A and B are shown apart, each in its own frame.
Chain A
Amino acid sequence: DVKVTQSSRYLVKRTGEKVFLECVQDMDHENMFWYRQDPGLGLRLIYFSYDVKMKEKGDIPEGYSVSREKKERFSLILESASTNQTSMYLCASSPGGLGAYEQYFGPGTRLTVT
């Protein structure tokens, strides 16, 4: 079974702090994704990566950056956390190529910024 793990289930940070959310997948997937999930808005893509050191902006990249130094690990960074970044953050991975591959999700990190 594909396993996607996220470093924390719950996180509380203060405004202005730098926040790191880590995601690790164990199935050698090329693609990795970071989403935020808010009630009534579904999942919105923040960033994705299709290869080591490669990244592409999603629909809402402002205030976020990412890092992918190893194939299995994809980190989301909030450079200076703000209260409007309080949300559920979901990491996902999928195989590369042109097939109709589903995404495999981690359990999520619920981030509260106070």
Chain B
Amino acid sequence: AQSVTQLGSHVSVSEGALVLLRCNYSSSVPPYLFWYVQYPNQGLQLLLKYTTGATLVKGINGFEAEFKKSETSFHLTKPSAHMSDAAEYFCAVSGPGGFKTIFGAGTRLFVKA
């Protein structure tokens, strides 16, 4: 069975500050891990994904995430927040074939001027 826990339903940062969104997972098989972003009134779009290989994954809009197997974590970071980063972020885990992708509850990011 697989599950995802996102720590913090809301995160608020100042513009220019570090963004850190936390995600922990559990999986009985080697996981595929994803971060998606949802802007208001839109569907989800992929930010980045981890499959195998390099554990530090770079995505769009300056985001990156590091797969840490020992900590079962896949936290999302961005060095400097921009107002346009305000959105909801979802961490997700799946196995081979992509069936039954499990999504976290989401973290809403607020960026203060």
B96 interface hit (Cβ, 8 Å)? yes
Q: B49 to A102, Cβ gap below 8 A?
A: yes
Interface set, chain B 14-52, CB cutoff 8 A to A:
32, 34, 36, 41-46, 49, 51
A-binding segment of B65-73, B75-83, B102-110: B102-110
- Contact among A41, A42, A48 for B99, CB-based, below 8 A: A48
Bound complex: CA A35 to CA B38 (Å): 14
Q: A105 to B44, Cβ gap below 8 A?
A: yes
A83 interface hit (Cβ, 8 Å)? no
Say how far A65's CB is from chain B's closest CB, in angstroms: 19
Bound complex: CA A96 to CA B86 (Å): 32
- With contacts A40-B9, A103-B98 known, is A4 near B105, CB below 8 A? no
- With contacts A42-B105, A100-B49 known, is A106 near B43, CB below 8 A? yes
Mostly, the B contact residues are: mixed
Say how far B95's CB is from chain A's closest CB, in angstroms: 9
Q: Return chain A residues, CB-CB under 8 Å to B74.
A: none
Number of interface residues of A (CB under 8 A): 29
- With contacts A100-B32, A100-B49, A100-B51 known, is A4 near B99, CB below 8 A? no
Q: A107 to B42, Cβ gap below 8 A?
A: yes
Interface set, chain A 21-79, CB cutoff 8 A to B:
31, 35, 40-45, 48, 50, 56, 58
- Contact among B46, B98, B104 for A42, CB-based, below 8 A: B104
| Given A31-B98, A43-B90, A105-B36, 4 new contacts (CB under 8 A) | A48-B99, A56-B99, A100-B98, A102-B36
Residues of chain B at the chain A interface (Cβ within 8 Å):
9, 32, 34, 36, 41-46, 49, 51, 90, 94, 96-101, 103-106
